[in-house]
Amino acid sequence: MTGPHGGAFSGRVGWGTRPAVVVVDLVRAYTEPDGPFALPDADPAVAATAALVDAARAGGHPVVWTVVRYSSGLADGGLFVRKVPALAAFADGAPGGWGELTLAPRPGEPVVAKQYASAFFGTSLAATLHAAGMDTVVVCGVSTSGCVRATATDALGNGLRPQVVRDACADRTAAVHEANLTDLDAKYADVVDLDEALDHLGGPASKA
């Protein structure tokens, strides 16, 4: 399959045989109307993510969740919290419960706490996925231009095939969302529709 960009940007990483769904930072801060990072219309992305999670569970594929979490004094926030002060909403003991996941993980599904945009940076995620024999990462969540983009880019760098599900991501404007999907699809990931992702998650996980 040839990518939509032509020329230098025409490759596809494709699907492997052992996909895992990584739900990036789908927490109340983004999905609630009064949240500090409230998105204008998060409901479609939440519904699409729920469909991906259900399909992964039914097919026996892993689901991993990520959240941003800091110590109460933000000592582990580094320069990121200086650049984006509203991230203080994710500190331990911060009011509002904004770091709570919008969808509920099942017992046994890992919840990876991170301090920066990428779900791979400074976390156990790569080791967890490689140890489980995964070769493909189905990326969904928020926001497209931030943590989704960083996670997909680092998935590629960690030898995993990133598949970013267009319908299951959201951002602060439609223009930002679409521009980042276009750039991701050109250089760092395959951007796919929900139906394609559900088709690949529909069968049982391959045996190692």
- pLDDT of residue 206 exceeding 90, the answer is no
**Domains of the chain by residue range:** 19-69+98-201
Contact (Cβ atoms closer than 8 angstroms) between residue 151 and residue 123: no
Per-residue confidence band for 2, with pLDDT thresholds at 50, 70 and 90: very low
| Closest to 139 in 3D by CA, of 122, 131, 28, 158 | 158
Q: Which CATH class name applies to 19-69+98-201?
A: alpha beta
- pLDDT of residue 3 exceeding 70, the answer is no
Q: Which residues are paired to 138 by β-bridges?
A: 21, 163
Catalytic annotation, pick one of 147, 170, 186, 194:
147
> What pTM did the predictor assign?
0.93
147 assigned to active site: yes
The CA-atom distances, in angstroms, between 39 and each of 81, 108, 129 are 20, 29, 29
